[in-house]
Amino acid sequence: MTVHAIIGGTGLTELNGLSLRDAFFQETPYGPPSANILRGEYAGHEVLFLARHGHPHRIPPHQVNYRANLWALKQAGAQAVLAVNAVGGIHAAMGAGHFCVPHQLIDYTYGREHTFFAGDLEHVTHIDFSYPYDEALRKYLIAALAAEGYDFSGHGVYGCTQGPRLETAAEVVRLERDGCDIVGMTGMPEAALARELELPYACLALVVNPAAGKATGVITMAEIEAALAEGIGKARKVLARVLAGSA
């Protein structure tokens, strides 16, 4: 039976319903991961959980130690990764509360430690990253969202920006012109590092606000927090379905 790791983003620093077996700190050659790894049972299946931004939420997107996080989960026994990400909506269909299971991404980040293949190498390695998300995991997420009756899109392009600031309206115009449907700050290098470790990886993205320029007025944290409060509970139900194989 596959051991799934869940990486929780903003709003998901703990996994309610997890029957905790142990919590442990996993050493890595790349420094400390964001938080202790929680191991236990969720929906009757073994699962690992890691809070991407720490617990409490304290690590900004550009300072997350993505290499340590993925390495730690792999060493702890993870065989597949389900990532939960809070994002902004660019496409008209991506309103607050909408879920997206992206099939593609564009990386706009810079200065992040983005690969394990660096330093004193015996040979150069190039991974195939044509299709960054595992299709089987995507289908499980899509089936779970459909079974729950939630508003979702089964395809989408995730544009990953540097953060921690939100984007300008002009930047969102550029992202839309590039083909992005949603925008977030944590999708990369996480997805690429999972591929380097041969970990199947998929993203459950929750839209928590319209992207800059897509709504009147400024984007407020109150609006984002309200969307998170409602959406994260739904995300937990989706994850439970996927893990239980009942989607």
pLDDT in tens, 11-66: 565 566 667 788 899 999 999 999 999 998 877 788 999 999 998 788 999 999 99
Asked if residue 103 belongs to a known ligand binding site, the reply is no
pLDDT of 197 over the 70 cut: yes
Residue 220 annotated as part of some ligand binding site:
no
CA of residue 68 relative to chain centroid, distance: 15
Q: Distance (Å, rounded) from C-alpha 151 to C-alpha 123?
A: 46
Which tens digits make up the pLDDT trace of 143-185? 999 999 999 999 999 999 999 999 999 999 999 999 999 999 9
pLDDT exceeding 90 applies to what percent of the chain?
72
Is the model's pLDDT at 9 over the cut of 80? no
Domain ranges for the chain: 4-114+128-244
Residue 209 annotated as binding site: yes
Q: Is 60 annotated as a binding residue?
A: no
Question: In a 3-state reduction of DSSP, which class is residue 67?
Answer: helix
In this structure, what token pair is assigned to residue 8? 């929780």
The CA radius of gyration of the chain, in Å to the nearest whole number, is 17
Residue 62 annotated as binding? no
- Quote the pTM value: 0.92
Instruction: Give the list of residues 6+ apart from residue 177 with CB closer than 8 angstroms, or none.
Output: none
- Give, in words, the CATH class of 4-114+128-244: alpha beta
> Residue 65 annotated as binding?
no
Question: What pLDDT is attached to residue 18?
Answer: 67
- Establish whether 115 is an annotated binding residue: no
Taking phi over 0 as left and psi of -120 to 50 as alpha, with beta for the rest, 22 belongs to beta
User: Is residue 94 marked as binding?
Assistant: no
